[in-house]
Amino acid sequence: MTTSRRTHAGGSSLDFLNLFVANIQTGFGPFIAVYLTTIGWTQTTIGIALSVGTFAAMASQIPAGVLVDMARRKSVIAGLSLLAFSMSAMLFAVRPGFLSVMIAEVLHGFASCTLGPCIAAMSIALVSHSGLAARFARNARFSSIGNALGAALMGAFGYYISSRSVFFLAAALSFPAIAVVWPLRKLDARARPHPNVRHSASLGTAVHVLGDRRLLIFAACQMLFTLGNAAMLPLASATITEQMPASANLIIAAFIVLPQFVVAAISQRVGRYAQSEGRRLVTIAALAALTVRGALFATIANPILLIPVQMLDGISAACMGILVPLVTADVAGHTHHYNFALGVIGFAVGIGATFSTTIAGMIADQIGEPLALLCLSFVGLVATLFAALLLPETRTARMR
């Protein structure tokens, strides 16, 4: 088989892997809260369970990145991560006791942090650096399609069969995902750094990567973005439920699905723009879209009119889904610490997500949801100005 045909075959496998992973991950979103509510869990215990999962994922970001950097076979780690997803889903479905659910959340949190870097590492091994923007755009596109399909499929299973069936489906979908990892094992050798690479796998190199100004400023942008973004949809959903309780589920479903179609539609164009014009402008555009979305959520009273506003989330998601692995590759792709750097950014995102819902909830309780949404929009504005003033361009002439 020629190199181009091997690359095409590997690319197709990677496409389907992103699709299936997004399918599976959909089952670990809002469906957990719905399922645990139906079996009698209180909102307090559900909140504890979700917080355990969030904290496990945040704490696992950097260790998981180091593990993937050290692993000689990224495909094996990816397969084991998918198997962990299946085990986690089965724990939810078969033994939904407090301890079992905590174990499932921790298992899923750590596996998520190893699988993402594996997919990014295999993407880098598949194409040259000049082709990374297009490859990451394809990853984002197929992930968005998988999210939309997963939401529709699992929603149908939950509605027509039972809430528990969602987790049996998530467990079952892990196996076709594992199957498409098999052809990607040929990328393992290419995913390892060459022995003569100037930056060896050492503590000193890791410290050098961690001290890179470009990485730290981009991580700060990601933290601010998540701080402004994570609580926005939950707050808007609460407002919509109060205003239109009969139609709230339908509107919220549209809020979740429509941005995925936007991501699928624009990802390739965003990737080309990031490659030709640079990463900095795309970052600023994503942050500006968050700012406008928050301001419109705070000022528009009609929930129906908010549906097209929510499509701005698709613009931000497409940009950030491509930029995170791409900027990390610009900064650390030539070292043995790419996934360590990816973990640093993931940790910053986790901090933003953890504080976003807590702070926004407190503001909403004190002064109301509209003003809380306006505060989130202000965070987006601060992030936009921060990126415009301080974020350096990471693309160089050799990457064009």
Question: Of 249, 167, 207, nearest to 337 (Cα)?
Answer: 207
- How far is residue 316's CA from residue 134's CA, in Å, rounded to a whole number? 17
CATH topology classification for 1-191 = Growth Hormone; Chain: A; (1.20.1250)
| Contact call for residues 362 and 235 (beta carbons, < 8 A) | no
CATH topology classification for 201-400 = Growth Hormone; Chain: A; (1.20.1250)
- Cα separation values, 304 from 290, 309, 374, Å: 19, 10, 19
Q: Output b/e per residue, 61-73; b: 16+ Cβ within 10 A.
A: bbebbbbbbebee
This prediction's pTM: 0.78
| Contact call for residues 61 and 113 (beta carbons, < 8 A) | yes
| Contact call for residues 188 and 74 (beta carbons, < 8 A) | yes
Greatest Cα pair distance in the chain: 64
Question: Of 352, 365, 344, nearest to 60 (Cα)?
Answer: 344
> What percent of the chain clears pLDDT 90, i.e. is strictly above it?
36
Q: Which residues of the chain does CATH 1.20.1250.20 include?
A: 1-191, 201-400
- How far is residue 371's CA from residue 170's CA, in Å, rounded to a whole number? 38
Q: Which residues contact 77 (CB under 8 A, 6 or more apart)?
A: 67, 68, 71, 114, 115, 118
Instruction: Tell me the H-state helices in 278-337.
Output: 279-299, 303-310, 312-332
Report the sign of the C-alpha dihedral through residues 58, 358, 300, 33, in that order: positive
177-216: pLDDT as tens digits: 999 998 888 877 665 554 444 444 455 556 667 778 899 9
Instruction: Tell me the H-state helices in the chain.
Output: 3-26, 30-38, 43-70, 74-94, 98-126, 132-160, 165-181, 188-191, 203-210, 213-229, 232-243, 248-277, 279-299, 303-310, 312-332, 338-367, 369-390
- How far is residue 206's CA from residue 336's CA, in Å, rounded to a whole number? 9
120-177: pLDDT as tens digits: 888 888 887 778 888 998 998 999 899 888 888 887 888 788 888 889 999 999 999 9
pLDDT tens by residue, the chain, 400 residues: 444 554 555 678 899 999 999 888 887 876 787 788 778 877 677 777 877 888 888 888 888 888 888 888 888 999 999 999 999 999 999 988 889 999 999 999 899 989 988 998 888 888 877 788 889 989 989 998 998 888 888 878 887 888 888 899 999 999 999 999 988 888 776 655 544 444 444 555 566 677 788 999 999 999 999 999 988 888 887 777 777 776 666 777 788 788 889 998 999 999 999 988 899 999 999 999 999 999 999 999 888 888 899 999 999 999 999 999 899 988 887 767 788 888 889 889 989 988 887 888 888 888 888 898 999 999 999 999 999 999 999 887 455 5
Q: Which residues contact 291 (CB under 8 A, 6 or more apart)?
A: 228, 377, 380, 381, 383, 384
